[in-house]
Amino acid sequence: MRPVTNPVLPGCHPDPSVCRVGDVYYLVVSSFGYYPGIPVYRSTDLVDWELVGHVLDRPGQLDLTGLDLSDGIWASTIRHHDGVFYVVSGIARGRTGASTFVVTATDPAGPWSDPVELDAQGIDPSLFFDDDGRCWFTGARDAPEPAVTGPGELWLRELDLDTLRLVGPEHVLWHGALRGQWVEGPHLYKRDGRYLLLAAEGGTERNHAVTAASATHVTGPYVTDPRSPLLTHRHLGPDHPVQNVGHADLVDTPSGQTWAVVLAVRAVDDTHVLGRETFLVPVEWSTAGPVFAPGAGAIHVGEAATAAPVEVLDLAAPLAAQGWASLRGPVTGLVEPVPDGLLLTPAGADLAGRGTPTFVARRQQHPRFRTRTRLRADGLTGAEQAGVVAFLHQDRFVTHALGVDADGSREVRVTAWTSAGGHVLGRAPLPGDSATLLITGDDSTYTFALETGAEQTVVAAVDRAFLSTEVAGGFLGVHLGVFADGASGPSTAQALVEAFSYEPLAAPRQQRPGPG
């Protein structure tokens, strides 16, 4: 296995779950209100991951209509048993679990079955296949007596693999190591004849942590590992570059090594914009149980040894296969590949609503980056606009768009959007129907510029924290993409994306102090 440069899945890749089949690893992450749902990644070394498909890629499989973008598909679990892949997941509404389901496939790239709803409360479902072939479902839910046990509990019930139904009695397993915190993210394992229950506690922010309990029987009773938390960064202070560490899933390599995938964020000035990312952590086993990051007790993170290449969007290829997504459903008829590029038709649904607007985007995956988009728009009228966007969620984003001003002249305008509406930050005249629009991000600022030949004109800039989770809320990271909206009915306007590129930028070199 080659050296690890964390995160192994940069950008918004939270709540990772992993399994191994032979020499190949498969991993899923949360997708919230983005469509298609639950991306599936493949790797042969746990370090380099390739997107191979999505679990939920047909409209009939899920309904995300009207959801806050931070609701939707929360933490899922992927497992493999007797030639079948299983993903168990659920939909959250109003920040609480609304439904739980299981899907199956013989090929993780798909197709996946239609969801089978399970009679299960709560969130963060998981599956465990015991040595006798029985399958056990675990989940997290509110505890009935929070003053006595703490606010949450982990519970277990058997899953009948023939009917995909939960059967038999429920078993309450554990209320967590911290008791005053909600316990979630359960995963069960078996090692040396004992059952290990991993969990996440402390919330998914700065106090996030990995905790554990163990038992001699799968149904319990479970005894708290007194070393809990087994992994956390909450004691390292706000200046540590990695924060919010937790939500671990374990996997063994063919040679018998154990690794954990966990979520964490890369914070700058105590805020982050990339979302919760997937990190890889070595695990060793002691007589007391698993030891995360042995000898260090913290996650290693560092810049890649070589500069990441510029990524050019293939406008003729399927967008989902390139990691692009829409909001809450497919954008068929609104975003269409054509011989010259990607055709956008302005929709009545807009980015600030809870529908499916004309919008597709990719994750911001690096603290410093530049996107360059060549865009042509014809026939825009009134409130219609088309352009690029730095998008956190429906209540916080910045558009950089072509439109028309009050006297009908073409212009480029940058608008910052919150739940209170939009505020125009800058305008520039556009002498024609096309433009090259730039978004550049660094450790302090998002800059929105218009490129004409070799010249660049800054239209506006936004403080980086404006798009951070700590300031704006939610569970997501910034996505960068293209959009068209403002139509009050059927629109005759069209925008053509002729090119889009994403360029990771290197960190500025630190100046060494001279002799005193």
> For 164, left (φ over 0), alpha (ψ -120 to 50), or beta?
left
Cα–Cα distance, 184 to 181 (Å, whole number): 10
Cα distance between the two ends of the chain: 44
Of 15, 68, 153, 277, which residue is the catalytic one? 15
Q: Which helix (H) or strand (E) holds 132?
A: none
| Spatial CB neighbours of 484, under 8 Å, sequence gap ≥ 6 | 334, 344, 345, 346, 347, 358, 377, 384, 385, 386, 387, 493, 495
| Spatial CB neighbours of 399, under 8 Å, sequence gap ≥ 6 | 351, 385, 387, 388, 389, 413, 414, 415, 417, 422, 483
CA distance readout (Å), 231 to 152, 188, 202, 243, 440: 20, 17, 12, 11, 35
Are 95 and 152 in contact, with CB atoms under 8 Å apart?
no
Task: Say whether 413 sits in a helix, a strand or coil.
Answer: strand
Of 57, 124, 153, 184, which residue is the catalytic one? 184
Q: What tokens does 495 get?
A: 């925008």
For 466, phi and psi rounded to 5 degrees? -60, -30
Are 46 and 16 in contact, with CB atoms under 8 Å apart?
no
Are 180 and 202 in contact, with CB atoms under 8 Å apart?
no
Q: What tokens does 257 get?
A: 């090594």
Cα–Cα distance, 6 to 3 (Å, whole number): 10
Maximal C-alpha separation, the chain: 77
Sign, CA dihedral 44-47-51-57, equals: positive
Residue 392 sits at the vertex; the CA angle it makes with 387 and 395, to the nearest 5 degrees, is 90
| Spatial CB neighbours of 32, under 8 Å, sequence gap ≥ 6 | 69, 70, 71, 72, 73, 74, 475, 476
CA-closest candidate to residue 108, choices 51, 192, 45, 171: 51
The answer to whether 153 is a known catalytic residue is: no
| Spatial CB neighbours of 496, under 8 Å, sequence gap ≥ 6 | 338, 340, 341, 342, 343, 344, 375, 376, 377, 378
The answer to whether 201 is a known catalytic residue is: no
What are the catalytic residues? Answer: 15, 184
